[in-house]
Amino acid sequence: MPTTNAEPRYGAVAQALHWTIAGLIVVQFVLAKLAERLPLGMHKLILLARHKSFGMTILALAVLRLAWRLANPPPPLPPGMRRAAKTTAAATHTAIYALLFAMPLTGWLMSSAKNYSVSWFGLFTWPNLIGPNEPAFKLLRETHGILSKLLFALVILHVLAALKHHFWDRDDVLRRMLPVRRPRMRS
């Protein structure tokens, strides 16, 4: 499979970044929801530390992914798609990209505002972005929670759209993001 995007499919780098980030987002939701149920203590802090490390990994991968996308424009959508569907797809993708930055940044800022260090799997510590600030912490925690619900809704929409393309429209939109050999070559 070619490394770069080449019509009609995504290349290996774009696919690897897409599926790695998708998997890490699932991990993030699971860790956050498990931590939420626990009382403050060692277990909760360990889960949140992992959540922070994976979150910072997503931020780094989002930077790489955006740079790669700018250098390698995605293959065009099937010509048969209606204009409204293309506009919805573009808006959803833009919003997901924005949240891939906004979620880690609000988390990082939130931890900084509480003066909790953000370590990367115990290997090094990211610098605090702001000083201790309780009102900012509360606002950022609220924002992080609201954005997570928005991201959740958009990811569900994104997955449903991909499944609709595959099973209903029977085009190559999902397959071109998968390491499969033979595209259906339908539009």
Cα→Cα distances 151→86, 148, 156, 157, Å: 20, 5, 9, 10
Distance between CA 52 and CA 118 in Å, rounded? 7
Distance between CA 105 and CA 101 in Å, rounded? 6
Of residues 72-131, those binding ligand HEM (CB under 6 A):
103-104, 107-108, 110-111, 118
∠ CA 67-69-73, nearest 5°, is 140
Minimum CB distance to ligand HEM smaller for 96 or for 173 = 96
Number of residues in the chain: 187
Minimum CB distance to ligand HEM smaller for 87 or for 142 = 142
The least CB distance from residue 105 to ligand HEM, in Å, is 8
The DSSP secondary-structure symbol of 147 reads: H
The least CB distance from residue 28 to ligand HEM, in Å, is 4
Q: Which residue is nearest to ligand HEM (CB)?
A: 107
The residues near 86 (Cβ < 8 Å, ≥ 6 apart) are 77
The least CB distance from residue 48 to ligand HEM, in Å, is 5
Draw the binding track, 17-56, toward ligand HEM (x: CB under 6 A; -: no contact). Answer: --------x--xx--x---x-----------x--xx--xx
Do residues 128 and 115 make contact, with C-beta atoms less than 8 angstroms apart?
A: yes
Minimum CB distance to ligand HEM smaller for 1 or for 156 = 156
Summarize as ranges the residues that interact with ligand HEM (CB under 6 A): 25, 28-29, 32, 36, 48, 51-52, 55-56, 58, 103-104, 107-108, 110-111, 118, 141, 144-145, 148, 151
